[in-house]
Copies of this chain bind each other. A is one copy, B any other.
Amino acid sequence: MTASESLSALLDHQRETEALAAIAGRLEWDQETMMPPGAAEQRGEESAAISHVLHARRTDSRIGDWLAAAEGAEMTDAQAAMLRHIRRDFDRTRKVPATLAAEIARVTSVAQGRWAAARAADDFPAFAPVLARIVALRQEEGQALADGGDVYDALLDDYEPEMTATRLDAIFGEMRPRLTTLRERVLDRPEPAGLTGAFDEDRQLAFTRTLAQTFGYDLTRGRLDKSVHPFSSGSGADVRITTRVNPLDPFNCFFSTIHEVGHACYEQGIDPAYALTPLGHGVSMGVHESQSRIYENQLGRSRAFAGWMFDRMRDSFGDIGIDDADTFYAVVNRVQRDFIRTESDELQYNLHIMLRFDLERALISGDLAAADLEGAWNERFRADFGYDVPRPSLGCLQDVHWSVGLFGYFPTYSLGNVYAGCLHKALRRDIPDLDDHLARGETAPATSWLRDRVQRHGGLYRPAEVIERACGEAPTAGPLLDYIEAKFGALYDL
């Protein structure tokens, strides 16, 4: 085979793998939205079968041969980027022994149920041995991946390629004192009132469709369904989102939808020429989260957009118990004493993440035993939030992530916020009259800018490079912190 034939063979193989991975993703979507409850056990076997096929394709030794043989081939920048992704994934997948990968899959599939039971019973000791086993397996995997380097970094690299804990330390080190200080000052102020009354579920769903389309989500290449936890799923021409509806809390439904629309628009915005290639997905969890966060927060919770949304909600629901747009803006940005990450506001959210980041690093390094997690969590929570965690379901058992083996994932949420801060600063610089548009419900100037600067590139550039190219400078935490301090300072008359 010539170099160019090897390149073709490699990309053909990869394309079929991508198509099969898309099917596996759709199967997960089905499981969360459509699957009848009695089908769960059978579905487990189906999922294992397609995972097995994908693993075999991704570790196929011909990939190594093709990669070597393709080196001399003439190729476009996009093809070179594709090969970079393929080599990276191939190397990573091959480093992990199949028996270890299978054991991780087995243990985590059982562990999720054990975690849910422990959380329901508020019984951390019941979960601690399971967690210890997961940590041990992921340590082993990290060692296999790290080649003598940092084990945590090797795990992090799966979600945020080329990011390191040391760099995150620097970023988070700047954020933590400024956020805890601001948090204390805000919580000294009187708390704004919340929403009262019940909001019809069908009208909420109709309103979410309006919001999704307002932010540019293309429903001819997607769909909106209900699920227990909102998520976005798929790439290219089939990117689906879900939401959940609570009659007492329409904002949860609306802002989680805008959040998922941000993820979905990233996928929908990628150059169609990259579909079913390694470039046809969001490039990292952090960059993905930057899109969902800027849609949800910097745009969706802005004063200008809140005014438009306030009017539309009154059109749809009548009297909502809020009298003016300023109050509405305050309500959707309310900072409260709470324990739950997923219900947190822009100010406190990153404190939740840093807590998890430090604890999971300590677990992986061995400095913290799984059995001691609850105590460590509660101590750190008290330090950063100022009050005690009453029970583990409001503390270290609140998130599913560790039970399914996700270590190195949490920090990408805050990294996404940092990236969103940088993008927002550049966006405001480039579109000075953005608020005039947002006040009319026009998101297109912002979303087009994001599509052009970030989304369309898919996996073409490295994660931090995408943000730097979009903003014209390397990402730092400064813009996010400045934005948060200005916004909440004004909201709370500090």
**Residue interface bits A203-239, CB-to-B below 8 A is 1, else 0:** 0000000000000001111110000000000001110
A197 interface hit (Cβ, 8 Å): no
A248 interface hit (Cβ, 8 Å): no
Given known A38-B220, A39-B221, contact A46–B22 (CB-CB < 8 A): yes
Q: Tell me the minimal C-beta distance from A20 to chain B in angstroms.
A: 5
Given known A23-B23, A30-B30, A43-B238, contact A220–B37 (CB-CB < 8 A): yes
Q: Which residues of B contact A42 (CB under 8 A)?
A: 22, 236-238, 275-276
Q: Tell me the minimal C-beta distance from A225 to chain B in angstroms.
A: 8
In the complex, which residues 140-187 of chain A have their Cβ closer than 8 Å to any Cβ of chain B? none
Please name the residue on chain B nearest to A48 by beta carbon: B19
Among listed A49-57, A58-66, A82-90, A313-321, interface-contacting one = A49-57
A436 interface hit (Cβ, 8 Å): no
- Asked whether, in the complex, the Cβ of B238 is within 8 Å of the Cβ of A39, the reply is yes
Q: Which residues of B contact A15 (CB under 8 A)?
A: 45
Q: Which residues of B contact A46 (CB under 8 A)?
A: 19-20, 22-23, 26
Q: Which residues of B contact A237 (CB under 8 A)?
A: 36, 38-39, 41-42
A35 interface hit (Cβ, 8 Å): yes
- Asked whether, in the complex, the Cβ of A53 is within 8 Å of the Cβ of B20, the reply is yes
Q: Which residues of B contact A219 (CB under 8 A)?
A: 36
A326 vs B413: C-alpha distance in the bound complex, in angstroms?
A: 67
A16 interface hit (Cβ, 8 Å): yes
Please name the residue on chain B nearest to A238 by beta carbon: B39
Q: Tell me the minimal C-beta distance from A234 to chain B in angstroms.
A: 8
Please name the residue on chain B nearest to A56 by beta carbon: B53
Q: Which residues of B contact A23 (CB under 8 A)?
A: 23, 27, 46, 49-50
- Asked whether, in the complex, the Cβ of B49 is within 8 Å of the Cβ of A19, the reply is yes
Told that A36-B221, A39-B236 touch, could you supply 4 new A-B pairs with CB distance under 8 A? A15-B45, A20-B50, A38-B238, A39-B237
A residues with a Cβ closer than 8 A to B are: 15-16, 19-20, 22-23, 26-27, 30, 34-39, 41-43, 45-46, 48-50, 52-53, 218-223, 236-238, 240, 275-276
